[in-house]
């Protein structure tokens, strides 16, 4: 099965769509075209990685474009075999006086719904607070997420540069609003920061899932703590190489995660930036890391149970798993 539990809308803009949308916002074509402007040539740092993601931001300046990009993201996921796509999105970057948060969120939800209706796959939107935004802005995002709970938004996340903005305390209020609205809680943590960031995300923000968590393995006590508490880790192996979280795929901590008994799910993070997709990431588990058929089935089971979906979608995914 292909259940994508860590993928960013900003990382799924088709280059052909970028070319078309650039014309509508009078954005000059980059020297080597949009495909190369968005994609990374080689692994670097999280900061460099996020700069390439940010190259897509001008395409989120109209609600119609947001809707289109979201719709196409679902089409692309379905055409590459996804059973379920959870997309995350930081709306505050794209809102301004003309386009409020609610409008942007509604446009993304509409695009997802249109894609889901056409393709038959299930989808959900996870709104992301951003580390470099102030608490007030992130609280507004949480309130917008709460208003759209049940209308497409299924979860809340914290994304952005963990190297530059490691503290989690500024986000407590936003996450308490999201939890009160019944949203699923995940958090990018221990991706560039230390192992303790994962535990902090669980204890301070209420995260049940951790994005990447590559550095959890640096501290055996923290690894054991995460396993004891059933903290689900969303692994995105190719992304971790490109952000510099690990120096090569061989350094990926998945074996240590498996050995410790951590529940794992899979994502492709920003596939347009790194030239991957979920099917490729799943193939890596088998080919590169030697996962057995039983281990892949365990990944599927964990994914079905950890997905931020309603009862009907979970039942449908469980039935497909059988
Ligand atoms: Zn991510």
The full set of domains in the chain, from first to last, is: 3-321 (3.20.20.140)
Low-confidence ranges of the chain (pLDDT < 50): none
Alpha carbons 215 and 197: distance in angstroms, whole number = 9
DSSP designation for 218? G
Distance 235 CA to ligand 1 centre (A): 10
Calculate the alpha carbon distances from 298 to 39, 192, 214, 216, 295 in Å: 32, 27, 20, 21, 5
> Tell me, what's the pLDDT at 97?
78
Tell me if the pTM is above 0.85: yes
Which strands sit side by side in the sheet containing 264-266, from one edge to the other? 3-8, 84-89, 122-130, 153-159, 184-189, 209-212, 232-235, 264-266
List for the chain the helix, strand, coil content (%; round to 5).
55, 15, 30
Alpha carbons 177 and 208: distance in angstroms, whole number = 16
Distance 286 CA to ligand 1 centre (A): 22
Distance 294 CA to ligand 1 centre (A): 27
> Tell me, what's the pLDDT at 17?
96
191 included as an active-site residue: yes
With beta carbons less than 8 A apart as the criterion, state whether 288 and 296 touch.
no
> Tell me, what's the pLDDT at 296?
97
Query: In this structure, what are the phi and psi dihedrals at residue 88, rounded to the nearest 5 degrees?
Result: -115, 155
Distance 6 CA to ligand 1 centre (A): 6
Q: Which residues contact 144 (CB under 8 A, 6 or more apart)?
A: 91, 101, 102, 105, 127
Count, in order, helices (H) and strands (E) of the chain: 15, 8
> Tell me, what's the pLDDT at 46?
86
> Tell me, what's the pLDDT at 73?
98
Maximum pairwise Cα distance, the chain = 53
> Tell me, what's the pLDDT at 54?
92
Calculate the alpha carbon distances from 48 to 55, 240, 305 in Å: 11, 13, 34
Distance 243 CA to ligand 1 centre (A): 10
Which helix (H) or strand (E) element contains residue 205? helix 196-205
> Tell me, what's the pLDDT at 138?
97
E strand intervals along the chain: 3-8, 84-89, 122-130, 153-159, 184-189, 209-212, 232-235, 264-266
C-alpha count within 13 angstroms, C-beta hemisphere, residue 210: 33
With beta carbons less than 8 A apart as the criterion, state whether 206 and 185 touch.
yes
Q: Exactly one of 86, 191, 254, 281 is catalytic; which is it?
A: 191
Alpha carbons 186 and 267: distance in angstroms, whole number = 13
> Tell me, what's the pLDDT at 289?
97
User: What SS3 state is found at 127?
Assistant: strand
Alpha carbons 210 and 206: distance in angstroms, whole number = 10
Distance 88 CA to ligand 1 centre (A): 8
Which helix (H) or strand (E) element contains residue 56? none
């Amino acid at each position: 099965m292909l259940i994508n539990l860590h993928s960013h809308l900003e990382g799924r803009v088709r280059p052909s769509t970028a070319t078309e949308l650039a014309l509508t916002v009078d954005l000059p074509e980059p020297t080597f075209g949009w495909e190369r402007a968005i994609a990374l040539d080689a692994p670097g740092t999280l900061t460099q990685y996020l700069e390439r993601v940010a190259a897509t931001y001008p395409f989120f300046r109209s609600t119609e474009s947001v809707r289109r990009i979201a719709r196409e993201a679902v089409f692309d996921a379905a055409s590459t075999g996804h059973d379920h796509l959870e997309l995350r999105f930081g709306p505050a970057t794209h809102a301004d006086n003309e386009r409020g948060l609610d409008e942007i969120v509604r446009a993304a939800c509409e695009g997802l719904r249109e894609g889901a209706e056409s393709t038959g796959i299930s989808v959900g939107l996870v709104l992301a607070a951003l580390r470099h935004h102030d608490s007030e802005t992130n609280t507004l995002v949480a309130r917008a997420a709460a208003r759209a709970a049940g209308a497409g938004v299924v979860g809340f996340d914290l994304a952005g540069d963990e190297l530059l903005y490691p503290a989690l305390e500024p986000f407590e209020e936003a996450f308490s609003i999201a939890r009160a609205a019944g949203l699923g809680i995940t958090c990018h943590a221990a991706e560039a920061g230390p192992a303790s960031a994962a535990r902090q995300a669980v204890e301070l923000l209420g995260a049940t899932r951790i994005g990447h968590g590559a550095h959890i393995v640096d501290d055996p006590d923290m690894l054991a703590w995460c396993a004891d508490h059933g903290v689900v880790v969303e692994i995105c192996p190719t992304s971790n190489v490109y952000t510099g979280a690990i120096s090569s795929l061989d350094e990926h901590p998945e074996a240590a995660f498996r050995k410790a008994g951590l529940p794992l799910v899979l994502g492709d993070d920003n596939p347009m930036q790194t030239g991957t997709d979920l099917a490729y990431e799943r193939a890596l588990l088998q080919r590169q890391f030697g996962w057995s058929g039983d281990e892949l089935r365990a990944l599927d089971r964990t994914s079905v149970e950890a997905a931020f979906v309603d009862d009907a979608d979970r039942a449908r995914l469980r039935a497909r798993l059988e």
